[in-house]
Structure 1
Amino acid sequence: MSTVRRRRLAATALAVTATLTLGGCGTGFNAQTNQVYQPAVGANHRGEMDVLGTLFVMNEDKSATLSAGIANNTESDQTLSSIAVTTLDGKTLPVRSAKMSLPLPAGDLTTVGGASDAGGFQVADGATAGLYVRVTLTFSDAAPVTIQAPVVARTPEYAKVAGSDGLAPSDVSGEGSE
């Protein structure tokens, strides 16, 4: 084998080894592909009570409806016993609901704020689309969950979230409510 050919072979082997070695430098335990992916607008909290896709949807009367999925990961049935909402600067917002407690069966996901939810949980006034509010959910036996949730304008994307009258507004999507 000639000297030139050996040098080319050695250079190629070195280039391949360097590419494979240095290509792995950007990965590791904190690589982006190892992170939880959250494609939705709502905020998530994971724990013994997963609160997923949490957000408030504005209504025509300036109230905002809570929309979230609550997964009870405990081994016993829970109850959502209270909700407290504050602005990020600490102003308490009044919460209204037809039913202030919600059963959460063990191992199940319960959706809050659907059009069939009789209005769900709403802040009467003080939430502003484009900003965040701090929501504290208190459960019967599980630890409370505090999460910062966005407030969004009512658009066709949120047509299935209950409005202030307990029904999704028919004029939002142009197709009527469920």
Structure 2
Amino acid sequence: MLITLPPQARRRAAAAGAAVTLSIALAACGANFNAQTAKPYQPSEGTNADSGSIAVRNLLVLAAEDGKGELQGAIVNRGRTDDTLVSIASAPAEGSSSTEEPATVTFGNVRPMTLATGAVLTLPPATGQPFTVTGGKPGDMIKVTITFAKAAPLTTDIPVLTLDHYSPTPRDDAETHG
């Protein structure tokens, strides 16, 4: 038995088919090499940087208002041979147009540490003293140079956050903009 549709039903079916086809075509516009989901995303407050097979992840300083704090983060050796963290030091700021002299930032308790193949070195280290930072106040960005025995030195900016940076309420002395 042959089923025939009235002209109005055929038009509705054709319109529905066209709408489905158009929605699929428009959805595909976002699925190319420039799609948002294909772009790098850093969901943490710290800095990520790479030097060859060495990956520095979520590097930041947690500090008190007096500028005394600790270095936090992780260093991953994705290479085929062990490497060594040699030093972490403050690097000079580039092209500063400020007339103020930048604060002196120093790192303490930094010592050579083995970066075993496939392993993660967490900061602060599981054993020994944490890497201390003096002179970086919350809200600052510190330029640091991290030196390794085999990988090239890495220079990057890392943020300084308050010890309670997850506090849900603003500070009483916080500046207001508006």
Coarse TM-score class (shorter-chain normalised)? 0.7 to 0.9
Where do 5+ consecutive residues of structure 1 fail to align? 158-178
Quickly say closer, same or farther: Cα 1:19–1:99, change in 2 above 3 A.
Answer: closer
Retained in 2: the 8 A contact 1:42–1:52? yes
Q: Deviations over 1:111-136 (max 9, x none)?
A: 1225754132x3322x1211211221
What's 2:160 paired with? 151
- Matched with 1:176 is none
Question: Residue 53 of structure 1 corresponds to which residue in structure 2?
Answer: 58
Q: Please report the TM-score for the alignment, with normalisation by the length of structure 1.
A: 0.74
**Alignment CA distance shift 1:94-1:128 (3 Å):** closer
Figure out how many residues of one structure are paired with residues of the other and give that number. Answer: 155
Q: Which runs of 5+ in 2 are unaligned?
A: 97-101, 167-178
Look up the match of 1:85.
90
Task: Return the match for 2:80 from 68, 75, 84.
Answer: 75
Q: What is the letter of the counterpart of residue 68 of structure 1?
A: G
Amino acid at match of 1:128: K
Q: Would you say the 8 A contact 1:77–1:105 is kept in 2?
A: yes
Q: How does 1:82-121 map to 2 (within 5 A)?
A: 82-86=87-91, 88=93, 91=102, 93-114=104-125, 116-120=127-131
Specify the alignment match of 1:33 in structure 2. 37
Distance in structure 1 (CA, Å) of the matches to 2:107 and 2:89: 10
* Residue 98 of structure 1, CA deviation: 2.9
Q: 1:99 to 1:146 in 2, by over 3 A?
A: closer
Q: CA RMSD in A?
A: 2.5
| Segment of structure 1 superposing worse, 85-94 or 13-22 | 85-94
Does the CA contact (< 8 Å) of 2:65 and 2:137 recur in 1? Answer: no
- After superposition, the Cα gap between the structure-2 partners of 1:88 and 1:99, relative to the gap in structure 1 and judged at 3 Å, is closer
Q: State whether residues 64 and 137 of structure 2, in contact with CA within 8 Å, keep that contact through their aligned partners in structure 1.
A: no
Pairwise CA distance, 1:63: 2.3
1:77 CA displacement: 1.2
Q: CA deviation at 1:65?
A: 1.7
1: CA distance between counterparts of 2:15 and 2:82? Answer: 65
- Alignment partner, residue 123 of structure 1: 133
Residue by residue over 1:121-155, the C-alpha shift from the partner in whole angstroms, topping out at 9 and shown as x without a partner, is x3322x12112112211100012222221101112
TM-score by length of 2: 0.74
Q: Shift of residue 44 of structure 1? A: 1.2
Show CA shifts across 1:76-123 (max 9, x none).
111111212246456584433334312111110001225754132x33
Whether the 8 Å CA contact 1:67–1:114 is kept in 2: the answer is: no
Q: Percent identity of the aligned residues?
A: 33
Structure 2 residue aligned with 1:18: 22
- 8 Å Cα contact 1:82-1:101 kept in structure 2: yes
Q: In the alignment, is the contact (CA less than 8 A) between 2:66 and 2:137 conserved in 1? A: no
- Structure having the higher Rg: 2
